Every structure is written in structure tokens, then in C-alpha cells.
Amino acid sequence: MGIKEKPITRKVMDEVLRITEKAMMYNNTPTKQEHTGDKPTFFVEFYGHCGDIDVHCYLNGYREGAGSVWCGNDTVHSLCEDEYTTEEEILADLNRIIADMDRYYNDWLSRQEAAPDV
């Protein structure tokens, strides 16, 4: 990634805020495995110097040394239009991130509901 030719648009900013809000809502309790078991934990990283974002999920809760999966696809996501990327492509990419976040969290909720009461 490098210096972007155009600033981040308002629509893109709004989607990034949705991603951040979802991560905060889904991580609204302590998220270390010792506290939450296998509750997924989301990490959102914004790179302000180049207008990029990446979102990772620890599917079985965060713990030191645990592996994570990318939300969206296996790359850092550009938030700025340039000669190679349109706003529509950026928004579609951000919507894939949101869909993955929702899927990972809802899969966990389904497992919780299906688990027998102890």
C-alpha cells in the first residue's frame, strides 16, 4: 500500500465506523479465553498514514499465541480511491468484512444456543 490519491469518502468512513461499532459490540465483555471460552474476538486496525484497515477475528477467543482469521479476505483493505480502486469496490470489500464479522459471531451464538445447559 502506498500514498493514496484521494481522501476517504464519507460513505467509506461510515462503513468503517460500522465495522468498529460491531467489533465493540461483539467484544463488549472481557474477551480473553479464560473469561469467555470460545467467544470470537475481533481486532480492528486502522492505518491512518495510508488509509488502510484490516480486521482479524480470533474465532475461539483471544489468547496469546492463538491464530486469527482475516475478515473480508487475506489482505489489508484500502479505504481510498486511486487509479486501481473505485469507491464501489471499497464499499463492497467493507461489506464483505461486515458479513464475515456477523457470520463468525452468529455461528458462535448458534453453538451457544445448541449447547446443553450444564
List the chain domain ranges: 10-111
Which of 19, 77, 22, 82 is closest to 53 using CA atoms?
Answer: 77
Q: Which helix (H) or strand (E) holds 79?
A: none
Average of per-residue pLDDT across 40-45 = 92
- Quick one: pLDDT band at residue 80, thresholds 50, 70, 90? confident
Q: Residue 36 and residue 52: Cα distance in Å, rounded?
A: 30
Lowest mean pLDDT among 14-18, 35-39, 112-116: 35-39
- Quick one: pLDDT band at residue 117, thresholds 50, 70, 90? low
Q: Residue 97 and residue 110: Cα distance in Å, rounded?
A: 20
Residue 57 has what pLDDT?
A: 92
Q: Which comes out higher in pLDDT, residue 51 or 19?
A: 19
Residue 1 has what pLDDT?
A: 45
Q: What percent of the chain has pLDDT over 90?
A: 38
